[in-house]
Amino acid sequence: MGRKEIPYPYNSETLPDIRLSFERPALNSMAKMAPAVQVEEETPENLCEE
C-alpha cells in the first residue's frame, strides 16, 4: 500500500508529489497545487486549523 510502481515516466520533481499522493490522500489536491516541500511545511498549520 505504501509504495506503487508508476506506469508512466516521472521526473525527480514529480516523484515527491506522487509519494505524497499515496502516503497522504487528503493532501493529494494540495500537493498538485503546491510543491511537495511547501505542503510538508503547511501540513502542521492545516492540522491546527482543522
Given pLDDT bands bounded at 50, 70 and 90, which one contains residue 48? low
Residue 4 has pLDDT above 60, yes or no: yes
CA 46 to chain centre: 14
Q: Confirm whether 4 is domain-assigned.
A: no
Q: Confirm whether 33 is domain-assigned.
A: yes
Q: Is 31 exposed, middle or buried (0-12, 13-18, 19+ CB in 10 A)?
A: buried
Q: Confirm whether 8 is domain-assigned.
A: no
Q: Whole-angstrom Cα distance, residue 48 to residue 6?
A: 33
The pLDDT tens digits for 28-41 are 555 565 554 555 55
Q: Structural domain tally of the chain?
A: 1
Question: Which is more confidently placed, 6 or 4?
Answer: 4
Q: Confirm whether 25 is domain-assigned.
A: yes
Given pLDDT bands bounded at 50, 70 and 90, which one contains residue 15? low
Expressed as residue numbers, the domain containing 38 is 14-49
Q: Confirm whether 31 is domain-assigned.
A: yes
Residue 20 has pLDDT above 60, yes or no: no
